Structure 1
Amino acid sequence: MHQPIGIFDSGFGGLTVFKSIIEQLPDYDYIYIGDNARAPYGNRSFNTIHQYTWECVQWLFEQGCPLVILACNTASAKALRTIQQQDLKITDPAKRVLGVIRSTAEVIGDYTKTKEIGVLGTKGTVQSGSYLMEIQHFFPDIKVYQQACPLWVPLIENGEYNQPGADYFVKLYLDQVMEQSPNIDTILLACTHYPLIQEKIEANLPAHVKVVAQGDIVAKSLVDYLQRHPEMETKLSKNGTSEFYTTTDDTADFDHHASMFFSAPVKSTFISANDLVKC
């Protein structure tokens, strides 16, 4: 039986996480869906983000996925808790949906020596306060300074991040977070899009500041989860396949941009957002 791991993101960013997951767990089957037609999620309301995320999760369930990873910080911040505590109990308690915030918060404290961290994310992720709460839970002695970067995802999604004009906005938000405390020695990229501009970010920060992306962290957390939950691991099919879906009808454009995020050729299939609503 075909029972892949589902990977969801509002657009392209989750592909940076998917890349790390497939490097560490290459034998499994995967289905990725990017809700590009309705992206970006960062500035949308809690209810809208939950609705869109849950529609995509249900669609992945219908494709046979017993386990779905929300490879999206905004969805993890604003939809995951409701999905886990309410939606799954009504639909199918045996299925599982995991996010990227908790797995990151569990280890981010290990990166800092000054115990002061800057968190860069979308407006939705920052406003949710999810990282503040989760990091406080695991590392109560660490100070967290947040900074919303609302223009980064549009620049990245539209392929403008390598243009000279993008440098201004990269520096703008970095200056704002570093102004909050001179003791910040670790910057967490709390959006899966941001690894595409990681080199620009590092170039605009003091040399001693470490920049942490989430891909490898989330992948290692998934490996650990499957080891601890053999009842889920044994359900998953292992043929080494990957399927890509997008809600934009311009699949050629999706494939072009997705290949940059995934660092490998991508061939996608269109799934209408209207069809997701019917799930």
Structure 2
Amino acid sequence: MLEGPIGIFDSGYGGLTVYKSIVERLPQYDYIYFGDNARAPYGDHTFETVYQYTLECVEWLFGQGCPLIILACNTASAKALRSIQQNILPFKYPGRRVLGVIRPTAEVIDQYTRSKEIGVLGTRGTIESQSYLMEIEKLHPEISVKQQSCPMWVPIIENNEHTTSGADYFVKEYIEALMNDKPGIDCVLLACTHYPLLLPKIKAALPVGVNIVVQGDIVADSLEGYLENHPEMEVRLTQNGDRKFFTSGSAPKFDAHASVFFGSEIQSVRVQL
């Protein structure tokens, strides 16, 4: 029986915000984080490209012995997760599991809205996939969803410009486009794991009283519940508190940026896919 660490995957740095919440909740497990920085961002790629990139990274993590992988990336969860779960795992990796961030978030989104009108802010790829619309409609048909793509936010964050006054314009532009179209919104979901770094600016741009939903704690809650409900998987996860970081891009650059997302200094290793 394969035993090993939990794999956490993202196209770049954003998944570190989810990883941080998971480690805080479940510190006893071993983890491997992999960021595909050399090919990031995923948001504007086609379904086929995102699927191929995500599958390559998932298989690399499987090669490191991970029985369970979390796609801590909304674009990968939207464009690749279902195909991997249905077409790859049963035939090539029947004993392993890959989980995403969209379903856990959609399951609990009703807890954050009274008006039953919510906004979803995400990359162009996540928004165009309609994944949140479909999941929320399926689970909470009473909720109305307005989506808004924010194509400039990830580049701003990845270039470490998210604290500058120059970022204010693009935050205000997308928030206004969302709220002007649907002023009854009382809950906004940040459907990209990069976006928590813009949280102060997003709060300032939104009307007072609008709930902002970030995914880190939600995904950590969901993973904890999953392991409680699947003891056959939980016993396969090694528990030494070990944490390793890998990137397909420059390791020094990754390390310099990653501390902003993860909240502490890290040391990564570059991997050639």
Normalized against structure 2, the TM-score is what? 0.98
* Counterpart Cα distance in 2 of 1:179 and 1:10: 31
Q: Which amino acid in the other structure matches residue 271 of structure 1?
A: V
Give ranges in structure 1 of 5+ residues lacking alignment. none
Residue matched to 2:35: 34
**Residues 162-183 of structure 1: per-residue CA shift (max 9 Å, x gap):** 1111110010000001112110
The answer (yes or no) to whether the contact 2:43–2:126 under 8 Å persists in 1 is yes
C-alpha displacement at 1:83, in angstroms?
Answer: 0.2
Residue matched to 1:9: 10
Residue matched to 2:160: 159
**Residues 208-246 of structure 1: per-residue CA shift (max 9 Å, x gap):** 111110000000000000000000000000000100000
Q: Which amino acid in the other structure matches residue 104 of structure 1?
A: T
Q: How does 1:148-227 map to 2 (within 5 A)?
A: 148-227=149-228
Residue matched to 1:271: 271
C-alpha displacement at 1:90, in angstroms?
Answer: 2.1
| Root-mean-square deviation (Å) | 0.8
* Counterpart Cα distance in 1 of 2:188 and 2:271: 36
Residue matched to 1:65: 66
C-alpha displacement at 1:153, in angstroms?
Answer: 0.4
* Counterpart Cα distance in 1 of 2:254 and 2:221: 27
Residue matched to 2:254: 254
* Counterpart Cα distance in 2 of 1:125 and 1:225: 24
% identical equivalent positions: 62
* Counterpart Cα distance in 1 of 2:20 and 2:269: 19
**Residues 62-90 of structure 1: per-residue CA shift (max 9 Å, x gap):** 00000000000000000000000001122
SS of residue in 1 equivalent to 2:181: coil
Q: Which amino acid in the other structure matches residue 96 of structure 1?
A: R
Q: Residues 125 and 168 from structure 1, CA distance in 2 versus in 1: closer, same or farther, beyond 3 angstroms? A: same
The answer (yes or no) to whether the contact 2:3–2:67 under 8 Å persists in 1 is no
Q: Which amino acid in the other structure matches residue 254 of structure 1?
A: F
Runs of 4+ in structure 1 off by over 3 angstroms are none
The answer (yes or no) to whether the contact 2:245–2:267 under 8 Å persists in 1 is yes
Normalized against structure 1, the TM-score is what? 0.96
Give ranges in structure 2 of 5+ residues lacking alignment. none
SS of residue in 1 equivalent to 2:163: coil
Residue matched to 2:233: 232
* Counterpart Cα distance in 1 of 2:11 and 2:174: 22
C-alpha displacement at 1:138, in angstroms?
Answer: 1.2
How many correspondences in the alignment? Answer: 272
* Counterpart Cα distance in 2 of 1:44 and 1:62: 25
SS of residue in 2 equivalent to 1:179: helix
* Counterpart Cα distance in 1 of 2:95 and 2:181: 44
* Counterpart Cα distance in 1 of 2:270 and 2:252: 10
Q: Which amino acid in the other structure matches residue 259 of structure 1?
A: S
* Counterpart Cα distance in 1 of 2:100 and 2:251: 26
